[in-house]
């Protein structure tokens, strides 16, 4: 799924995603390149969606749940 398509429709729970490496965040990127699964949509009612993502563990970091704006996630369902 393209990044523009993500903007128009919500990613369902269980969608496999990757966190973008260049997020343009003030203070640095948040968990760049990590893989995870959408846990749920945050009830925050704004034009852009905020998701809870269960990040997978890596060699250096434990699994954790974090929030990400939709623009900072890449949907991996079409990459399989």
pLDDT higher at 50 or 8:
50
Q: Where residue 52 sits, what CATH number does that domain have?
A: 2.30.30.390
H-run or E-run covering 74: strand 73-75
* Res 15: pLDDT: 94
Distance CA 76, CA 80 (A): 7
User: Containing domain of residue 66, as a range?
Assistant: 3-79
* Res 28: pLDDT: 84
Q: Which two tokens stand for residue 46?
A: 């704004």
Q: How many domains does the chain have?
A: 1
Beta-strand pair 64-69/73-75: unpaired
pTM, to two decimals: 0.79
Q: What is the dihedral of CA 30, 35, 37, 40, to 10 degrees?
A: 10
pLDDT in tens, 19-65: 999 888 888 889 999 999 999 999 877 788 999 999 999 999 999 99
């Amino acid at each position: 799924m393209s990044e523009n398509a993500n903007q128009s429709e919500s990613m369902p729970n269980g969608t496999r995603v990757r966190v973008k490496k260049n997020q343009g965040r003030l203070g640095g990127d948040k968990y760049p390149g990590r893989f995870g699964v959408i846990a749920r949509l945050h009830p925050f009612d704004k034009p852009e969606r905020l998701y809870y993502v269960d990040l997978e563990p890596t060699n250096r970091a434990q699994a954790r749940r974090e929030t990400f704006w939709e623009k900072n996630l890449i949907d991996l369902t079409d990459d399989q």
